[in-house]
Amino acid sequence: MKKLLSALLVMMMLVACMAPALADEGSEPDWTHYDELIAEIKTTTDLEEREALMHQAEDMLMETSAILPIYYYNDPFMLDSAVTNVYSNLFGYKFFMYANKEGDTTLRACLASEPDKLDPALNSTVDGATLAVNSFSGLYTYDAEGQLVPDLATGYTMNEDGTVYTFTLKEGLKWSDGSELNAKDFEWSWKRAAATATAADYSYMFNGIKGYPDDLAVTASDDGLTLTVELAAPCVYFLDLAAFPTFFAVKQSEVEGAEGYLDADGNILNPNAWATEAGFISSGAYVLTEWKHNESMVYEKNPNYWNAENVKIERIELMLSADDTAIYAAYQAGDLDFIDTVPTDQIASLNGIDPEFYVVDNLGTYYVSFNVKSPLFDGKTVEQANAMRRAFALLVDRQYIIDTIAQTGQLPANTFVPAGMADGHGGVFRMDDEDYTYPVETGYFSTEVDVEGAIELLKSAGYEFDANNMLSASTPISFEYLTNEGSGNVGIAECIQQDLAVIGINMTIRTCDWNVFLNDRKNGNYDIARNGWLADFNDPINFLEMWTTDSGNNDCQFGR
């Protein structure tokens, strides 16, 4: 207990020291310095200095206490023994294009419910990314060993200081309709994804390129065989970006010719209008040919895919559902070959027992996000709102959640950047070393429950308690927890609800459909929400730049 209280005091002192940077009217932290720090990281060429700056950014982020990490992800799924060569990577993508199925060329799968967006430039979900990597192509991709390999490119050259990349594309590339695909398509697509008018959630990923956002220094050669990219500073993970769905090419005429794309004044109204029904042109191994919304999708082999001769599965039939009990029943009945979720009450009987149940590594964090603009924090100072959020974190029993809900050997999380993340210059970011020491056990939160510490923090935020250490009726705390469907997500919400109720906090749970959930969370229509982030590439900046004021993934609403 003394160790936990001591750690709390250290963190409260750190917050006090940060007061000039965090101070703002009301309960919301001033986020200007954070934005400036991320911009500095993106242009710093000294890799050790860059790591130090990323630790500073992580300090600022975690000292808001607006992120409550629960556990570090791994990835459980089920795959029928008749199917081989389905592979995934650390970022959660599933690759089906080189699969084989004994005696059949149709693969039946369930990834999730109705996808939010299929345009790879606009998608920001893992299930959407899986659909993207199987139906669109980038300059680079990942192989079965998780290594970067050329996809539509044959390779690249780089200038001496690492600021100019020139990619050479394969000759004879085609869109799924048979028309020519070349570097000019990538030039247009990258500029479109970065542009202010498109408002893509991931537009910030282009901010390392000169001219971002609206004059991107990306140029295709006249013959369409090379793409030249000028960076503002060397980028150690630039090839990873070339394999990321936001950097995939989409066909200009498809996007701009869609009904509803522009408003009456010629301004972009709906950049996703072209990809809301089956039949749109793509470039990957498969083309979406049928889409019964909220029910099913069918992808069929694209004969114009550059590597079509090695695509053995001719048809992928997708069940769209978030009901993991129904999904599991369909798998057990032989109606599905692959499922990406399993009911909580079935995991113990499968894990380590059923050879069709897999648990693979991921690089990501399951967490709870606080909306810093929520009325929950009205009337509080920055420090008091911070203390409230930290108190909630001290009440949550992460290990119990892992043991009873997650159940696949996850590690309890004590910071947002996951264990195992590289530091950008050959080491591991999440390790104490001579240059940096984490405040608490290589993290920011003790993973032990500390009710006494939580009460003291809430008292510092102006809350009163009775003789039984329950919140006084004169200073109640009541809020809503937002989550999407699924027994695991709901089960975790119920665990947190019980943990907070120990001192009289009233938390109600609102469960909604995936699309509604995503947009309510993104737009700040919540108090506290279930959240999760899988790395897009193996560098800490991925977990830090998403929280800048203008980022489309800034669900906490920092700086808004």
The secondary structure element, H or E, covering residue 62 is: helix 47-63
More confident residue, 94 or 20: 94
- Name the CA radius of gyration of the chain, rounded: 24
Q: How far is CA 100 from CA 77, 92, 257, in A?
A: 18, 20, 37
Looking at 122-131, 189-198, 298-307, 440-449, which range is the least confident one? Answer: 440-449
Weakest mean pLDDT among 228-242, 420-434, 486-500: 420-434
Q: State pLDDT tens for residues 207-217.
A: 999 999 999 99
Is a pLDDT exceeding 50 seen at residue 524? yes
The answer to whether 216 and 229 are in contact (CB under 8 A) is no
What pLDDT, on the 0 to 100 scale, is given for residue 434? 86
Average pLDDT on 342-347 reads 96
Q: At 80, list the tokens.
A: 């029928």
Tens digits of residue pLDDT in 457-480: 999 999 999 999 999 999 999 999
Instruction: Give me 471's structure tokens.
Output: 């919140």
Q: Which residues pair with 67 in a beta bridge?
A: 369
Output the six-digit token pair for 31: 């986020």
Give me 111's structure tokens.
């990834």
Read off the pTM.
Answer: 0.94
Pair of tokens at residue 315: 């048809």
Helix (H) or strand (E) run with residue 71 in it = strand 67-79
Q: Which amino acid is at 167?
A: F
Closest CA to 91 of 75, 80, 68: 75
> pLDDT digit string (tens) for 93-106?
999 999 999 999 99
Q: Are 497 and 504 in contact (CB under 8 A)?
A: no
* Contact indicator for 548, 381 with CB cutoff of 8 Å: no
Query: What is the rounded CA–CA span in Å between residue 272 and residue 268?
Result: 10
pLDDT of 547 higher than 50: yes
Question: Do β-strands 357-370 and 140-142 pair in parallel, antiparallel, or remain unpaired?
Answer: unpaired
Report, as an integer, the average pLDDT of 246-261: 98
Burial class (CB in 10 A: 0-12, 13-18, 19+), 2: exposed
By the 10 Å C-beta count (0-12 exposed, 13-18 middle, 19+ buried), 292 is classed as: exposed
DSSP 58: H
CA 489, 531, 140, 314 dihedral sign is positive
Q: Concatenated DSSP letters for 218-258?
A: EEE-TTSSEEEEEBSS--TTHHHHHTSGGGS---HHHHHTS
Q: Which helix (H) or strand (E) holds 521?
A: helix 514-522
With a cut of 50, say whether residue 19 has pLDDT above it. no
pLDDT of 15 above 90: no
pLDDT of the residue at 1? 41
pLDDT on residue 503: 98
Residues 147-202: tens digit of each pLDDT: 999 999 999 999 999 999 999 999 999 999 999 999 999 999 999 999 999 999 99
pLDDT at residue 357, rounded to an integer? 98
Average pLDDT in the 388-417 region?
Answer: 97
Q: How confident is residue 22, by pLDDT bands cut at 50, 70 and 90?
A: very low
pLDDT at 441 over 90: no
Strands (E), 293-423: 296-301, 315-319, 338-339, 357-370, 411-412
- Per-residue confidence (pLDDT) for residue 27, from 0 to 100: 84
The rounded mean pLDDT for the chain is 94
Span 505-533, average pLDDT: 97
**pLDDT at residue number 435:** 86
* Model confidence band, residue 25 (pLDDT cutoffs 50, 70, 90): low
Structure tokens of 123? 């998608």
3-state class (DSSP) for residue 468: coil
